[in-house]
Each structure stands twice: as structure tokens, then as C-alpha cells.
Structure 1
Amino acid sequence: MPEPFKNLINPATVRSLAERMAETGRFQKDAFVGDATDGLEDLELKDRIRHIAAALDRHLDDDYELALDHVLKSLPPEAGEDEAIGTGFATWAFCQFVETYGQDHLELSVAAMYEITKRFSCEFAIRPYIAAEPQRLLEVLRTWAHDENVHVRRLVSEGSRPRLPWGMGLKIFQHDPEPVIALLDLLKDDPSEYVRRSVANSLNDIAKDHPDKVVEVAKRWMTNAPPERKRLVKHALRSLIKNGHSGALELFGYGAPDISVQFQLTNKRVELGDSVEFEVDVTCKSDQSLLLDYAVHHMKANGKLTPKVFKWTTRKVSAGDVLSLTRKHAMKVVTTRKYYAGTHKIELLINGQSFGEEEFELYLP
């Protein structure tokens, strides 16, 4: 099993941070290390970062401006163009320090995040500032969208995501995504794949609240789009495509299917750890593109069924073609799902439309 992510924030991380701080100003590194590591290993990832940031606050100057100056002097070298911005985990504590203690000093803190982000992304730290002063921060982000540093440009899209995982939600943008879309417009043809992938993830966030709006943006962006932008749009629409949104599917050539279908399970009694198998025969009545997926409707503790869509295959077909396909889906134990005995379903989805459901019984050992 892989090492838990939280273990990247450990006593050695704290000591490396303390040594940098001691090199650039008056700092009682041993006292800080003792304070910051006390109870550290009992905490989860983000609580570890908050714990270290709180220790920084206790051991730095009481004057925020002087404390921040000490932090900035202690920054490691900038991350390279192709270097993952999350490798210097000790620097995350600096982001958290600015997030927690700097909101009464907006200009100083925003300028600090600009520098810190070149080493470790302030995508979490900047969000309370955006929520408190959206217009001022949008103006800053518009300027940063043209910055020469790739990590600063990525902060524009990642920091403004309405639903950033692990980060506070930006309700103002969940309600009205237009300001974010305007920022993404500036970055959609960024030379860096790292930035473009962030743009796609932000659009995917927006699609959770405004699916039709995102399809409108995607259609506009697909006009005379270079290959890189086409890949961005496809990634941005991945959730809509998986969920069968007709507008998203049509944008990639998957219209209403002109077919007839036979669909059946080959086993209707499945033990946990085995596979449920099904067969599909598709008779094609015209030339078209087909996107075949399926949903497993899992039994929950309350007895209700909840679907999860799984990708399967895509085919370009001609009139008269007959596709004969089989699929096995393993009902194996995974850490992210708890199984319950009882009636489950397999649902066949073609171009986002349902072409039948078949039940099977899942038995637990």
C-alpha cells in the first residue's frame, strides 16, 4: 500500500523549514521544531499544515509585515518550468501562514502569494482573499494570467476554481461563473499543458452547476481550435460526457443513435470477488459514431440503488454493421466502496441514452 500523503509532512519537513528560517533571520529553530512537531503525527494532512503554520506564527515577529518579510527571505529557489509545484512540501506551511494570518494585510499578502506560488502553489491560500474581495482579486488574476511564470498563470485558473478539491468552495463563482470563464478565456491557449489542464479542470467544476453554459463555452472554443485546445475541451467535458449530456456528446460527434439493440446478462448470480458478464448486439441503421458505456447500479445500505458509470468503447460504424460485444465487470473488493448483498443492475448506455437494464443478485461471503 502506498505511503499516506500526510506522511510527507513530518518532523524532517519541519526541521528543514526551521533551518531555512534560521539562516535568514533571528529564529529559535529548536524551540520551533519542538512546538511544530508536538502532536503532529496524530493529525491528518491539512491539519498538519495548519499546525505548523500556527507554530510559525508563535515563533515569528508579532508584526505581520516583519514576519512575512522573514518568510519571503526563507523561500527556496523557484520551481522550474517543468517541475511539479507540489514537491517542496515544507513551503506549504508558508502558504497556510499567509492564508490564516494575512487577510488584514491584503496587498502585502497577495504580493507574497505571487512569490510563494513560484515554489508551492497558493491555490488554497488565495481563496479566502477572493471570497472577501472578489473584484480586487479578479483584477490581480487578470494581470497574472499574462505572467511569464507558468506557476503563477496556473494559480489564476486553479485558485479561482469554484469547487477545488480540498479547498474552500467559492460560492460567488458557483452562482455566477462568468468572471472565472473570462479568466479561462485568457488561458485556454496557454503554451503549458500544466496550465491548460488546470483550465479544463476549472471548466469541469463549473459544469457541475452550469452544464449548458459550459457546453456553450466549449462550442465557442472548438471553433478553429488547434489540437491542444481540442484536448482541453474534451477533458473539460469529461463529466458531462460520462453523464450523457446530449450537448457535450454532440460536440464530439455522438448524436442520437440510429440502432437496434439486444442486451442480456450471461450470469445473474454473482459472488463478491467474481464478475458479472453481459453481451450486446448492436445493429446499425446508418453511418454514425457510437460511444458505449454502462452503469452499475449498486445497492446501498438503505436499500436504494445508486448508479456509477463506467467507460467502455467507441466505434465508428456504417449502415448495416452489427456489433457483437461482451464485457466482464469485476465485483471486487475496493477501499472506496462498501458492497451490500441484494439486487443490483447493469444499464447499457449508448451516446448517453439508456438501452436497457438487467438485474443480477450479489452475494457476500
Structure 2
Amino acid sequence: MGAMNELINRHAVKALADILTAAAPGAQWPALAVAGTTLDGLSLRGRTDHISGALVDDLKRLPRPGYATAAGIFRRALDNPGFTGWVLWPVSEAAVTLALESGTVSDFKDCLALLAELTPRLTGEFAIRRLLARDPDAALQAILAWTEHPDEHVRRLATEGTRAYLPWAVRVPALVQRPWATLPILDALYRDPSEYVRRSVANHLNDLARHAPDVVVSTAAGWLGAPDANTAWVVRHGLRTLVKKAHPGALALQGFVPASVAVTGLRLDRDVVAMPQDLGFEFEISNTGTGDARLAVDYAVHYRKANGSQSVKIFKLTALTLGAGETRLLAKRHAFRPMTTRVHHPGMHALELQINGVRHGRAEFRLDTASTPD
């Protein structure tokens, strides 16, 4: 994450101070200047909060402190093309802080509008979360109108900023407790002309699958009933987690119905995997039924946990159609590498196949995290 942290550095903060000074002649930014020199050791989120806090402190020292003054300065700064990039994350957070401290309906609404104006320069998806948490109904009403905005960045903000489990973002309990609340936004955007927006819609739907699978399947079915050329991809990407979890409704929507198959000859290319190394495996799959079989072929890795138990993670292998009596040889390599998102523990692991949600075969292997591969 070191390189990510440097997206907000002292040079970017100095440039921000210069732009704000030009937008508000006579204003001083002493807290911002100090904050820009004290970023070492902070994560990107930590740097955002550090700079945002300094901005709020400086804005409160102006002759007319408050949200309205800050919003005016930030809007004037948009005249400068250099007012862009990751340093706008703390700018948007500072605006939200002041709008929430104000407590007025007008500042709340204007702050939403300001985020829409800023988001083409850098997404406002993180800052908008606190507005959603404060008043989800008022925020969602305004956000729904963005689905008709001419700028794809603003339309994407409508769906990305309201995701239930948006990475890096604070959780908004109402988005989890009321999974239907954002469906009007998704319904308005699943056929958006921009792939950038459609991908966000699919990721939003996949988020909802974590706690409202039946809502997701019903929504996807409705979209498939009124599709365009891109709807199949949006649905497939939005249902990816449910397909891996073998949700019957999700599998059926993708044409993966129960099938008569035989899976044989699961073979690993090694019994011991020494990190960093790949584990290769292959197997044969046969359609033993009397008609064509559309198959979602996935595989499960049973990772050893620190306490000796195992946790499973499903990975996609392929989707294919086998004719009656047809057999296909499939092969795959799975990488075992140091990761920031997973701690690998030495000991026995297992690999298992999953066909249309049904598990087939199992092969065990040992992971060695201490030695190096030959």
C-alpha cells in the first residue's frame, strides 16, 4: 500500500493550498501547510483524514466560517484544471464535515450537489457515505436524480456511492438493513450506455447478494426480461458470488440447472506446495445425460486456518456446454503467493470441484510456507 499512500503527498497538499489561495485571495491555510509535512507513516485513509481535519480547521478561521464559504471556495477552485486527483478526497470530506455540523437541510442538499460537481475530478463515493448515514431517505432521493445526469461520473457516483460494502468506505447501516432502497437506482442504470457505470451496477448487485440473495435474483430476473445487448454481462457479473455459493435461483438464471455429470481423475501435479508456487490440477468431466448440459465449473480451495480448521473459498474455472456423452479434459493452475488479504498457514489443505453448485471429488495437499520451491 506504500505507493497508494503516496497518492496524497506533501507536493499534492502544497499544490492544493496554492489552488485554494487563488480561489480565495487573502485566505490563509496554516493548518493545511503543517499537515502536508506530517504525512509519514499514515495510510491513504489516514492521510485523507489528516488533511481533511486541517482543511476544516483553516476554513473555520476564515472571516465567515462555515459550509457555505467552503463550498464557494471549492466551486471557484474547479475553474483550475489542476484541482483534481486524490487530494480531492480530503476536500470532499471537509465539505461533508462542515455540512453535517451546520445541520441545515439546505447545506445537506447543497453538499450532495457539490459532490456531484467534484466527482468528475475525483469520485465522491467515499465522502457521500456520511451524508447517507445521516439521512438516507433524503440522500437517496437526490441521488436517484443523478441517474439521468449527462456525465457518466455522476451516474456512476449514484450506484457506486450507495453500495452496501463499498471498499475503503464507512458502512451505512441503512443500506444493509434496507436492500431494496437502492433498487430504483440500479433499475435506472443497468442499461446505461457507459461500461464504467454498468460495471458499478453489477458490483452493487453483487454487494447486495451478501445479505439479500433473493432480492438480487428477483432483480436480475426482471432485468433479463427487459434486456439490451449488455444486460447478460451485467447480470452474470452481479450474480457471480451467488453462483459460486450455489444459489439455485442464481444458477437457474444463468442456465445452470441440475445436470447428470461424472467427474473423474482429479489429479494434482504435486503433493507439497512450497510458497511461492503454483498448484496445477486436471480432471475429466462427462455429460452422462441425454441432452446438452450447460455447466458452471468452479473449484474450492480449503485453506488451513491458524487453529487447524479449514475455511473454503470458491474460484471460477470456466463455463461450458457438453453434448450428451461428451467428455472434456480441464486443467488449471492456482497460485499460492504472499497476500495482504490472506495469511497462509502451513499444513494440510484441500481442493474440491464444484459443478453447477454440486461438489465433486477432493484432493489434499500440504502447504509449506517456510521452504522455497525447487
Between the aligned residues of both structures, percent identity stands at 34
| Mapping of residues 1-365 of structure 1, within 5 Å | 4-27=3-26, 31-60=30-59, 61=62, 62-76=65-79, 88-103=85-100, 104=103, 105-266=107-268, 269-273=271-275, 274-286=277-289, 287-364=292-369, 365=371
Q: CA–CA distance in 1 between the matches of 2:26 and 2:195?
A: 40
> CA-to-partner distance for each residue in 1:93-151, whole Å, 9 max, x for gaps?
22111122211231332232232223222212222212221222222112222122222
Are 1:10 and 1:40, in contact at CA under 8 Å, matched by a contact in 2?
Answer: yes
Are 2:164 and 2:208, in contact at CA under 8 Å, matched by a contact in 1?
Answer: yes
> TM-score with structure 2 length normalisation?
0.88
Are 1:76 and 1:119, in contact at CA under 8 Å, matched by a contact in 2?
Answer: no
Q: Shift in Å at residue 310 of structure 1? A: 2.0
Q: CA–CA distance in 1 between the matches of 2:163 and 2:81?
A: 24
Aligned residues: 358
Q: CA–CA distance in 1 between the matches of 2:315 and 2:12?
A: 40
Query: Taking structure 1 as reference, are residues 44 and 265 closer, same or farther at Cα in structure 2, changes over 3 Å only?
Result: same
Are 1:294 and 1:349, in contact at CA under 8 Å, matched by a contact in 2?
Answer: yes
Are 1:298 and 1:306, in contact at CA under 8 Å, matched by a contact in 2?
Answer: yes
Q: Shift in Å at residue 246 of structure 1? A: 2.2
Structure 1 gaps, min length 5:
80-85
> CA-to-partner distance for each residue in 1:196-228, whole Å, 9 max, x for gaps?
111111111111101121011111101141121
Query: Taking structure 1 as reference, are residues 330 and 54 closer, same or farther at Cα in structure 2, changes over 3 Å only?
Result: closer
Partner-residue secondary structure (3-state), 1:120:
coil
Partner-residue secondary structure (3-state), 2:148:
coil
Q: CA–CA distance in 1 between the matches of 2:121 and 2:272?
A: 51
Q: CA–CA distance in 2 between the matches of 1:363 and 1:25?
A: 60
Q: CA–CA distance in 1 between the matches of 2:212 and 2:29?
A: 51
| 1:82 aligned partner | none
Query: Taking structure 1 as reference, are residues 116 and 224 closer, same or farther at Cα in structure 2, changes over 3 Å only?
Result: closer
AA in 1 matched with 2:8: I
Structure 2 gaps, min length 5:
none
Query: Taking structure 1 as reference, are residues 299 and 223 closer, same or farther at Cα in structure 2, changes over 3 Å only?
Result: same
Partner-residue secondary structure (3-state), 1:55:
helix
Query: Taking structure 1 as reference, are residues 282 and 141 closer, same or farther at Cα in structure 2, changes over 3 Å only?
Result: same
What root-mean-square deviation, in Å, do the aligned CA atoms of Structure 1 and Structure 2 show? Answer: 2.3
When structure 1 is superposed on structure 2, of 263-272 and 252-261 the one drifting more is 263-272
AA in 2 matched with 1:58: D
Q: CA–CA distance in 2 between the matches of 1:347 and 1:150?
A: 42
Query: Taking structure 1 as reference, are residues 113 and 87 closer, same or farther at Cα in structure 2, changes over 3 Å only?
Result: closer
Query: Taking structure 1 as reference, are residues 363 and 21 closer, same or farther at Cα in structure 2, changes over 3 Å only?
Result: closer
Are 2:70 and 2:95, in contact at CA under 8 Å, matched by a contact in 1?
Answer: no
Q: CA–CA distance in 2 between the matches of 1:234 and 1:176?
A: 23
When structure 1 is superposed on structure 2, of 276-285 and 178-187 the one drifting more is 276-285
Q: CA–CA distance in 2 between the matches of 1:33 and 1:133?
A: 30
Partner-residue secondary structure (3-state), 1:169:
coil
